[in-house]
């Protein structure tokens, strides 16, 4: 079993890389963001922590977390973002470790956008999907319909290109065609054996 950590800033194209790895290489994909969402379901440990910290105002009428309201809290208040991250991130990595232990896959890819040292022991290599800030902005505006302001804020809230590159074993350039990306992945996986 090989475990690859896959990271990169918002709009870099991690989802496309995951799709290629899943469909062409039968990789089992674990997305930290989706695991975080699982942990915020009613009754889960993350849900209980968020409800206790931010109160009923962050909940929908059915008791679920209002993700829009939570998103505003996170992106408008750095202290709140750090508080949520320090609460949720350890739970996410604990759950991912459990999923890896239970997996029978030959290749597991764990995708995450937020850099942190708490999970560096779970993967054999870390890959960084890189696209220039200009390309990322264009993708966020076109593909997700985000405003320029929101896109800039999201990009600025993440690690710098240098920080991502410094902590990764491989850099995957994603500013060309899908075929270019597929060729890079084929070469990397061939060289890994």
Binding site for ATP, by residue number, is 11-16
- Give the integer Cα–Cα distance in Å for 142 and 180: 21
Q: Which secondary structure element, helix H or strand E, spans residue 161, and what is its range?
A: helix 161-167
Report the DSSP pairing between strands 107-111 and 28-31.
parallel
- Give the integer Cα–Cα distance in Å for 97 and 118: 11
CA distances from 16 to 61, 74, 114, 120, 159 (A): 35, 26, 18, 23, 20
Helix 45-54 with 32-39: angle, nearest 10 deg:
70
3-state secondary structure 5-56: EEECCCCCCHHHHHHHHHHHHCCEEEEHHHHHHHHCCCCCHHHHHHHHHHCH
Detail the residues annotated as belonging to a binding site. 11-16
């Amino acid at each position: 079993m090989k475990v690859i950590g896959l990271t990169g800033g918002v709009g870099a194209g991690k989802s496309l890389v995951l799709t290629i790895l899943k469909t062409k290489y039968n990789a089992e994909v674990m997305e930290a963001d989706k695991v975080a969402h699982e942990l915020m379901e009613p009754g889960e440990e993350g849900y209980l922590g968020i409800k206790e910290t931010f109160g009923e105002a962050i909940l929908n009428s059915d008791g679920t977390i209002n993700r829009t309201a939570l998103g505003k809290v996170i992106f408008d208040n750095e202290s709140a973002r750090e508080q949520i991250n320090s609460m949720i991130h350890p739970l996410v990595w604990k759950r991912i470790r459990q999923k890896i232990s239970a997996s029978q896959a030959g290749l597991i890819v764990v995708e995450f956008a937020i850099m942190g040292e708490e999970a560096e022991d779970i993967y054999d290599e870390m890959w960084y999907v890189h696209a220039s800030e200009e390309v990322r902005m264009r993708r966020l505006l076109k593909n997700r319909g985000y405003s320029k302001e929101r896109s800039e804020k999201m990009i600025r809230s993440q690690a710098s290109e240098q920080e991502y590159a410094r902590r990764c074993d491989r850099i995957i350039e994603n500013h060309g065609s899908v075929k270019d990306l597929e060729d890079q992945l084929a070469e990397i996986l061939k060289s890994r054996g």
